[in-house]
Amino acid sequence: MESIKVKLDNRELVVSKLPLKRYADLLKKINKLPTHISKLDEMDEGAIIEAIPMLLSGALPDIISLVVVATDLTQEDAENLGASEAVDVLEAIIKVNRFADIFKKVKKGMAQTKPETKLENPTGEEAQKPI
């Protein structure tokens, strides 16, 4: 299984690719983050990593719970991370789980399966679709 080692002050943390069940739990935690990260699916990996300091300042409890789900850190360990350690851990989580790639694939798949919509004119009657 793919993993990244992160050097913390008091130990080395191995951040591994999450199994599907834990990945689903992680996505639930991400959905609880404030709206200022709603554009994550449009960002590449570098942009997501650059946004980490902003995320830490605006959504600390949610970020901590995300770190707990994605690593073997306890709630207390995650709360006691230094700022640079937290950024390193989040960066490893993002990279090893390939968030940017997954968001792009899901978005592309959803666009391909989207049903056609009928256009209506202001009176509510169906109009012909534009060419």
Instruction: Look up residue 78 and give its two tokens.
Output: 């995650």
Instruction: Look up residue 4 and give its two tokens.
Output: 């990244």
Residue 128 lies in a domain: no
Residue 102 lies in a domain: yes
What burial letters (b/e) apply to 16-47, b meaning 16+ CB within 10 Å?
Answer: bebeeeebebbeebbeebeeebeebeebeeee
**Sorting pLDDT into bands at 50, 70 and 90, what band is 110?**
low
pLDDT digits (tens, 9 = 90+) for 38-91: 666 677 888 878 877 777 777 788 889 889 999 999 999 999 999 889 989 989
Residue 119 lies in a domain: no
Query: Maximum CA pair distance of the chain?
Result: 68
| Number of domains present in the structure of the chain | 1
Q: Among candidates 99, 97, 101, 90, which has minimal Cα distance to 65?
A: 90
Residue 123 lies in a domain: no
Q: What average pLDDT is seen over the chain?
A: 79
The pLDDT of residue 119: 55
Q: State which residues form the domain around 87.
A: 3-113
pTM for this prediction: 0.67
Residue 90 lies in a domain: yes
Residue 118 lies in a domain: no
